[in-house]
Structure 1
Amino acid sequence: MINLREILFTLTKEKQQEFIVYLEKKNKRKDTKNIQLVELLLSGDLSSSEISVELYRKQNKVALHALRKRLFQSLIDFTANMSMKEENSLGIQLIKQVLSARNFLKKGQIKIGYQILDKAIIIAKEHQLFTIINEIYHTKIQYAYEIPSINIDELVLEQKKNLKQHQLEESLNIVYAKIRKVLFEVDKQKKIIDIKLLIGKSLEDENITISNDLSFKSLYQLIQITNISSSQSYDYWYTESFLLETYDIVSNHKSIKEQNFYHIEILYLIANMLFRNKKFCESFKYLEKMLFFMEANNKQYYSNFKNKYILLLAYNLNYTNNPEKAILLLENLNQKKGVDLFSEIKLTTALIVFYFQKADIKAASKLFSKFYHTDKWYIDKIGIDWLIKKNIIEILLQIDLGNVDIVDSRLLSFKRSYFDYLENINQNRVISFIKLVEIYYKNPEIVNNSSFFEKVKTSFDWIEKDKEDIFIMSFFAWLKAKMTKQEMYLVILDLVKN
């Protein structure tokens, strides 16, 4: 069964209200229950039986199934219309032009049909829309006999060049899919791989070389692959050179002006990678570039990236001794409408971390109460890696609040739920960290003893300071602050200095 609640929660609160207005306009009868069903789905984790009773005062599986089916179709229509308006207007306009040209050609208006196709193909080539370009050539070749001056052999040659370029993009899409599958399987098998070597081998298998011949989207996919690998293994330092080398090609790409969306996304990924590697000045520079292109073309993609930009800017500010600015940025953003669920969770998490690091325990605890859903709900919405971080933050926060019963419960739950998973993804240092936290929690007086210092020293396979991920450092800073009797935020600033 399609999860309607999950689809609804992919919409921002603003879009959810727009959908309700859309249903109101669409409804021809006053007794239609689709809006009531939407409100019930958004209000909480009610079962189908409970929803049925709310709607019909009894169990009525047949009626509920029919209602859900109609609501699903309305959701599809609404999201499709929304996408046509916001995301893919250029492609849709070009398709409309091709259809219009075919209509004129069928009616014998050959000159008008070809004029429309000539204009459409210029735009399609600028944006590397290979499928649409092929449709244009297909139509031109079909009616070429109507115009004696047209060289059909030249048209066929151009179409073959486009098909070759399209095939290249499809091959890279296959590479992208295969690499992502390998990364997923590698994590399960607790292996360490050379991502650069993996990408090189995968490209070689498909006879592809990284160059300007690749579409802009394809280069973006390569950069995205390396980012996914780094986020899973916390080794952003390892892929830094590859990302920057690939961006050198991207920045000189022939279609960079027409691919602003992917360009902004690439700039974000690089700025994030540099932040995780504690290269704040460089990260700020890429964020400045990102903002420049976000504001280009009358802010065409500004709303798409605003939340991601502000969140990463706030992180950079927080770790460069500007926590007040970072907190103010996120507080202002969190109060605004139009923040989607994923961004809201990320923003709230960052604010909790900033408050906690500055020892504003009450503010952190109050904000943490917004995370009232089940672990399964959060895994479905945002992923298990975030959930693990969230649960560690809660354990540390409850220890500082002195909530003994909650700490005991959370530690036991964490060990049962995530130790096996952490072992499977080769993150034993998280397990070691939790064990040290538990030792401190049960015997706080031991934290200043030399024996505890030695235990901490031998509990981890320490890596070079400049290679350690900034978030891993931030968790360790809590423990080090207890050991050295310093403020946590000062310890963090000291740790992240290169």
Structure 2
Amino acid sequence: MFNKLYHMNSVSGIIKTLTLVEKEEFMLFLKKKNKRHDTQNIQLFNLLKNDDINEEITVYKNKPALYALRKRLYQNLVEFIANKRFENDTSEERDVLKLILVSRTFFEHSQHKAAFKILEKAEVKALGIERFNLLNEVYHTYIQYAYLNPSIDFSALVHKYEINQQKFLQEEQLNLAYASLRMELAKIKEGTADVDFHQTLHHTFAKLSISLEERMTFKSLYQILFIANEYAALRNKYHEIEHFVATSFRFINTKTQLAEKHLFYHINILYFMANMLFRNKKFDDSKAYLDKMEVEMKKQDNVYFKQFENRLLLLRSLNENYSGNSVTAIRMLEDALNSVAKNEVTDILDLQLSLGVFHFQQNELRKVQQIIKTFSGSDAWYEKKKGTEWTIKKNLVEILLHVELDHADYVLSRLSSFKRRYKKYLTEMKEERVLVFLGFVERFLYEPGYLTSEELVSQADSLFQWRPQREEDLFVMSFYAWLKAKMERRKVYAVTLELVGQNRC
């Protein structure tokens, strides 16, 4: 049953990944494979690429036959995409793999001298791109046929193999840790697990005997930074991981010749560094890394540009907004939302929420209201798409909007449902101050003069469990800025910039 559902649901999604040119090429691929004049798979493909589900059901009333046809179409798509990607793959990894295969073919046909030359070339290439898995295959082949070459120093060869095995094992152990920690992160973000992630991280690394002081690669650094960023986001403690920026900077500076060969990981690393610096309110430094990131994105014929474009733009707009350039930030996001593809749901949600916050800080409430209306999904849906933390922030923005619009009854209803859904989660994540903050909001609804009372003004900072300015999270400051602005009868944006250390409006 699962396989049936999988094929039924996945074919349309796979077709959407194809470009217009690839769709035409796939049609030709099907025509060549079809026996006699069987064109049903082409007919189904045309219906699916146009999302014409109703027509599909009308045309194919025999469900078992439709399932069988979809399954064959799925298998053809997999074969076509695999062939296409392999044809277009000009990476050095593929070059090494081809050299290994050729050398083995030569050995099998007693062309020993040529085989060893090819194998030597493969070793040099694999060392140059630090692909320990490929080097493992190179040394395995060397050792297997070493008896055919008396000039080989067998002890030295085995030593190289053992050193590479250690590096390969370390990379595999880190990959296991990365996968395990991502599973735990997913549970925490969905609110389905009560886990001390910091403790889990250390336990996982200890169990797998991983030391971050040992030699790193672009891939391993990317994995470490990903986990560090996720942990910091969950705990709103980016100051605890900023030392990774210095570590990453040193690593990149010593690996300049390898950077372009690991372009995907290099771009991700620069993004993580820029994000850490932004969340720690070091906007100029963050912008500098975003500039470097954009340069890398344009390399190799913009191969990764589209993939990272929206993340780059979002972080640029956030830096501009919290540097005091709100007009520029708002324009950047509005332009982006006019051009972003509608199927890029995750990117759209991030852009929309940030734009809503920017407008709220400028007291442009009607614009915020228009954006909030587009968030028509349930909390459960947003938690699945973006995680619990993101959904909480969206709810807080909505609650504050309706406070400003004097929709007291609606706000009280939203507060009640918010606490029911997220009180346990916030307590487990040691973020009870969100509930304290909402307590201020609720009392303000009953007593509008409460937020400007001497009682609150003198106690607010201590009641809110405020951290030192250097350690406090930027987005937490943004919500607290609303409360402080109410207490001091000032504009939210001016207070926000003051709190983050940017005193200009």
TM-score, structure 2 length as denominator? Answer: 0.81
Q: Return 108-117 or 465-474, whichever deviates more.
A: 108-117
Structure 2 CA distance for aligned equivalents of residues 20 and 442 of structure 1: 61
Cα distance in 1 for partners of 2:225, 2:338 equals 33
Local SS of the residue matching 1:465: coil
Does 462-471 or 182-191 show the bigger shift?
182-191
CA drift of 1:167 comes to 1.4
Partner of 1:270: 273
Distance of aligned partners of 1:92 and 1:413 in 2 relative to their CA distance in 1, 3 Å threshold: farther
Report 1 or 2 for greater relative contact order, CA contacts < 8 Å, sequence distance ≥ 6.
Answer: 1
Task: Return the letter of the residue paired with 2:43.
Answer: T
Find the partner of 1:386 among 386, 390, 397: 390
Aligned CA RMSD, in angstroms, stands at 3.8
C-alpha displacement at 1:94, in angstroms?
A: 2.8
Q: Distance in 1 between matches of 2:298 and 2:55?
A: 50
Is the alpha carbon distance of 1:10 and 1:34 closer, same or farther for their aligned partners in structure 2, counting shifts above 3 Å?
Answer: closer
Aligned amino acid, residue 435 of structure 1: G
The reply to whether residue 471 of structure 1 matches residue 492 of structure 2 is: no
Distance 1:9 1:236 in 2: 40
Q: Measure, in 2, the Cα distance between the counterparts of 1:413 and 1:490.
A: 31
Note the alpha carbon deviations across 1:42-95, whole angstroms, 9 max, x for none.
Answer: xxxxxxxxx689713898653554455446546645665676578884333432
Q: Note closer, same or farther for the CA distance 1:25–1:382 as it changes in structure 2 (3 Å cut).
A: farther
Aligned partner of 1:165 in structure 2 is 167
Matched, 1:131 2:142: no
Query: What SS does the corresponding residue of 2:43 show, helix, strand or coil?
Result: coil
| Structure 2 partner of 1:286 | 289
One-letter code aligned to 1:100: V
Conservation of the 8 A alpha-carbon contact between 2:287 and 2:316: yes
Summarize the alignment of residues 396-435 of structure 1 with structure 2, pairs less than 5 Å apart.
Answer: 396-403=400-407, 406-435=410-439
The residue aligned with 2:399 is 395
Partner of 2:465: 461
Q: How does 1:49-88 map to 2 (within 5 A)?
A: 55-56=57-58, 62-63=64-65, 65-66=67-68, 69-70=71-72, 72-73=74-75, 76-77=78-79, 80=82
Q: Is the 8 A contact 1:11 1:341 kept in 2?
A: no
Name the stretch that deviates more: 408-417 or 11-20: 11-20
Distance 2:230 2:419 in 1: 26
Partner of 2:374: 370
Distance in 2 separating the partners of 1:7 and 1:415: 37
Indicate how the Cα distance of structure 1 residues 56 and 231 shifts in structure 2: closer, same or farther if over 3 A, else same: same
Partner of 2:250: 248
CA contact under 8 A between 1:212 and 1:254: conserved in structure 2? no
SS state at 1:286 partner: helix
Distance 1:184 1:167 in 2: 26
**1:96: Cα distance to partner?**
3.0
- Superposition pairs of residues 34-53 of structure 1, within 5 angstroms: 34-37=45-48, 40=51
CA distance in 2, matches of 1:408, 1:5: 44
Residues 437-473 of structure 1, C-alpha deviations (whole Å, 9 max, x = no match): 2332344344333344467445422211221101011
What SS does the aligned partner of 2:353 have?
helix
Q: Distance in 2 between matches of 1:87 and 1:232?
A: 37
Superposition pairs of residues 341-352 of structure 1, within 5 angstroms: 341-352=345-356
Matches within 5 A, 1:442-457: 442-453=446-457, 456-457=460-461
Q: Decide whether aligned partners of structure 1 residues 186 and 14 sit closer, same or farther in structure 2, where only a CA change above 3 A counts.
A: closer
How far is the alpha carbon of 1:369 from its aligned partner? 3.2
Deviations 1:147-170 (A, max 9, x none): 444444443332222212211222
How far did residue 378 of structure 1 move? Answer: 2.3
Distance in 1, Cα, partners of 2:81 & 2:382 = 23
Partner amino acid, structure 1, of 2:329: A
2:497 alignment partner, SS class = helix
CA contact (8 A) 2:103 2:118 kept: yes
1:333 to 333, 336, 339: 336
Q: Distance in 2 between matches of 1:469 and 1:209?
A: 28
TM-score (normalizing by structure 1): 0.82
Q: Is the 8 A contact 2:8 2:70 kept in 1?
A: no
1:320 corresponds to 2:320? no
**Distance in structure 1 (CA, Å) of the matches to 2:348 and 2:213:** 38
In 2, the alpha carbon distance for the partners of 1:453 and 1:27 equals: 72
State which drifts further: 247-256 or 260-269.
247-256
Structure 2 counterparts to residues 436-447 of structure 1, below 5 A? 436-447=440-451
Using the alignment, how far apart are the partners of 1:4 and 1:383 within structure 2? 27
One-letter amino acid of the structure 2 residue matched with residue 486 of structure 1:
R
Q: Distance in 1 between matches of 2:8 and 2:377?
A: 14
Matches within 5 A, 1:228-243: 228-243=230-245
Identity among equivalent positions (%) equals: 34
Counterpart of 1:330, as a letter, is: L
Residue 430 of structure 2 aligns to a residue whose secondary structure is coil
| Residue-pair matches, total | 486
Q: What letter matches 2:123 in structure 1? A: I
Letter matched to residue 385 of structure 1? E
CA distance in structure 2 between the aligned counterparts of 1:386 and 1:12, rounded to whole angstroms: 30
Q: Take 1:163 and 1:426, find their aligned partners in 2: how far apart are those partners?
A: 42
1:32 to 43, 47, 68: 43
Seen in structure 2, the aligned counterparts of structure 1 residues 121 and 494 have a Cα distance that, compared at 3 Å, is: same
* Match for residue 497 of structure 1 among 477, 481, 501: 501
Task: Report SS of the residue matched to 2:339.
Answer: coil
Given candidates 350, 354, 358, the residue that maps to 2:362 is 358
Which deviates more, 31-40 or 387-396?
A: 31-40
